[in-house]
Amino acid sequence: MQVPDTLRYTSDHEWARADGGRVRVGITDYAQDALGDVVFVGLPEVGTAVEAGAVLGEVESTKSVSEIYSPLAGTVVAVNSALGDAPEQLNADPYGEGWMVEIEPADPAAFEGLLDAAGYRELTAE
Amino acid sequence: MTPTEPDLSTAAPHLEGPDGDLRHSPLEAAHEALGAKLVGFGGWLMPLAYPAGTLAEHRACRTAAVAFDVSHLGTVRVEGPGSLDLLQAQLTNDLGKIAPGRAQYTHLLDAADGSVLDDIIVWWLDDEVFDVMPNASNTDRVRGAIGGEDRTAERAVIAVQGPAARALLAPLAPEAAAVGHFAVTTFDWRGVPATAAGTGYTGEDGVEVSLPADAAPAFWKSLLTLGVAPAGLGARDTLRLEAGLPLHGHELGPGITPLQAGLSWVVGWDKEDFRGRAPLDVERAGGPTRRLRGLLAAGRQPPREGAAVFAGGDRVGTVTSGNFSPVLGRGIAMALVDTAAGLDIGATAEVDVRGRALPVTVAALPFVRPGEAGRH
């Protein structure tokens, strides 16, 4: 199970990557493996204001429907619309082409409060 | 990420988590060696998917051939004088339409309201010898009605399905590969007694083979060596949904009669009597008040089980199963819909997907016909 050291994580299995003033968000390798084949991804509109822990979107696999939560408070500034036709990217490349949204955080310092890779590995090792 | 709707491990009445007191297939070690994800289903620990994944397994069944371990199905041997009369009285379908050496799909009904306690395949092996195959979790209930000897633990059942199933099976078991559609044959496989039936649950041509538990791992391994891909319960569910086939606990179950499920052909109306006939006759005379329909979404997002169906602003039904159709590339579902709503093939409706209205079209079942996958 891949847990890149350069990313931050939530206990709900989202990852976050700081990129300039933005934070890119997706689901972890552990999450995509648990979901199985992803067949639909529901994403928010650009411009949507989100709270930390609020529903950011949903991911449907052949076996379940799961909500994705925002790691941080802020505003959605980009969504990966390519997932509309290619939701399987969440399985194939969860940390790359399978990214879901970019958020402009209300408080950039909040990023540092997320789990680091070691903390997330510990969580998923249980 | 948190599941808002239960996954396959908890979704249906007879699906449960991998913990607890589960029964084990004779093929479990083979599944583990292949890297399968195992899940509780009907009281058994069975493969949900192999590393290729549900979508790849589904496509392999539509275009080539796959093997499912369906050892969780029950095998109840009913034999001896009076066996035919007993099954004729307890089950809906008319064995008088077939003969020894044939298989038949049939129902066991609740005598009080005509709802379907289980849907069953009967293998008619010899004059007064039948193997009755209930759904995993319903075996005891079926034995309560028909008696018989539970032979489930003694054997494994492997379903080989897909357009290439017979060709790939032929070098391993030519008698099985040659069995006719809904025919049953016994044969000797490397010195052990085996049975093959031209039945399945995918909408594709195929064969189901029952053989002693000890011999099953070698048969399974040989099948995979011949190019048959292993497939799990996830693909079995999307395949049967595309084929418009009912799953007990979803399209059939308490309160749901064969007429509501569109399965009047499973009922031997010409028989004198059978368990549950009286309430079924009443429903037939007045016409069922609801009916199973296919729903086709415009996009990929599927309607899901339990979702409400609306037409003209009124609630007219409930989704019984829904998922993504790998062949059509769109969401598909089956739903029980009030007949009074008059929703015929081609009518439009809406499904409530967690507060949003998903537009759907009423579609004929099956969604996909055998061998049709290549045309989409």
Predicted-assembly ipTM surpassing the 0.90 threshold:
yes
A68 contacts chain B (CB < 8 A): yes
Does the residue B367 lie in any domain? Answer: yes
Q: Which pLDDT tens digit goes with each residue over B187-212? A: 999 999 999 999 999 999 999 999 99
Domains of chain A: 8-106 (2.40.50.100)
Residue B264: DSSP 8-state: G
Claim to verify: residue B169 and residue B65 sit in the same structural domain: yes
- Find the length of chain B: 376
User: Quick one: B307 exposed, middle or buried, by C-beta within 10 A (0-12, 13-18, 19+)?
Assistant: buried
Give the domain-ending residue among B93, B116, B150: B150
Claim to verify: residue B341 and residue B367 sit in the same structural domain: yes
What span, in angstroms and rounded, lies between the C-alpha atoms of A29 and A98? 10
Does the residue B359 lie in any domain? Answer: yes
Give the domain-ending residue among B227, B242, B257: B242
Claim to verify: residue B195 and residue B62 sit in the same structural domain: yes
Does the residue B34 lie in any domain? Answer: yes
Claim to verify: residue B29 and residue B134 sit in the same structural domain: no
Residue-number span of the structural domain to which B127 is assigned: 76-150
Q: What is the mean pLDDT of chain A?
A: 96
Report the b/e string of A86-110 with b at 16+ CB within 10 A: ebbbbbeebbeebbbbbbebeeeeb
Claim to verify: residue B81 and residue B144 sit in the same structural domain: yes
**What does the pLDDT read at residue B11?**
36
In order, the DSSP letters of B143-196 are HHHH--EE-GGGEEEEEEESTTHHHHHTTT-HHHHTPPBTBEEEEEETTEEEEE
Claim to verify: residue B356 and residue B295 sit in the same structural domain: yes
What span, in angstroms and rounded, lies between the C-alpha atoms of B376 and B373? 6
> Which residue in A has a C-alpha nearest to residue B12's C-alpha?
A63
* Percentage of chain A exceeding pLDDT 70: 99
Q: Which two tokens stand for residue B136?
A: 């995993």
Torsions phi, psi of B351, nearest 5? -115, 135
| Number of domains composing chain B | 3
Question: What does R_g of chain A's alpha carbons equal in angstroms?
Answer: 13
In order, the DSSP letters of B1-46 are -EEEE--TTTSSTTEE-S-SS-EE-TTHHHHHHTTPEEEEETTEEE
Q: What is the CATH number of the domain that holds B111?
A: 3.30.70.1400
Claim to verify: residue B185 and residue B223 sit in the same structural domain: yes
Mean pLDDT of B278-289: 97
Mean pLDDT of A11-27: 96
Claim to verify: residue B219 and residue B156 sit in the same structural domain: yes
Q: Which pLDDT tens digit goes with each residue over B131-188? A: 999 998 899 999 999 999 999 999 999 999 999 999 999 999 999 999 999 999 999 9
B303 contacts chain A (CB < 8 A): no
Query: Residue B81: pLDDT above 50?
Result: yes
Does the residue B358 lie in any domain? Answer: yes
Residue B198: DSSP 8-state: B
In angstroms, the separation between the Cα of residue A107 and the nearest Cα of chain B is 22
Claim to verify: residue B18 and residue B51 sit in the same structural domain: yes
Task: Respond yes or no on whether the N-terminal peptide bond of residue B366 is cis (omega within 30° of 0).
Answer: yes
Q: Which pLDDT tens digit goes with each residue over B54-65? A: 999 999 999 999
Query: Residue B204 half-sphere exposure, CB side, CA atoms within 13 Å?
Result: 30
B361 contacts chain A (CB < 8 A): no
Does the residue B272 lie in any domain? Answer: no
Claim to verify: residue B124 and residue B28 sit in the same structural domain: no
* C-beta neighbour count of B338 within 10 angstroms: 18
Q: Would the CB atoms of A66 and B3 count as touching at under 8 Å?
A: yes
Q: Lowest-confidence range among A10-14, B2-6, B259-263?
A: B2-6
Q: Which pLDDT tens digit goes with each residue over B5-28? A: 544 443 333 344 445 689 999 999
Claim to verify: residue B213 and residue B64 sit in the same structural domain: yes
Residues of A in contact with B3 (CB under 8 A): 64-66
Q: Would the CB atoms of A62 and B3 count as touching at under 8 Å?
A: no
Give the domain-ending residue among B99, B115, B150: B150
Provide the β-strand partners of residue B363. B294
B46 contacts chain A (CB < 8 A): no
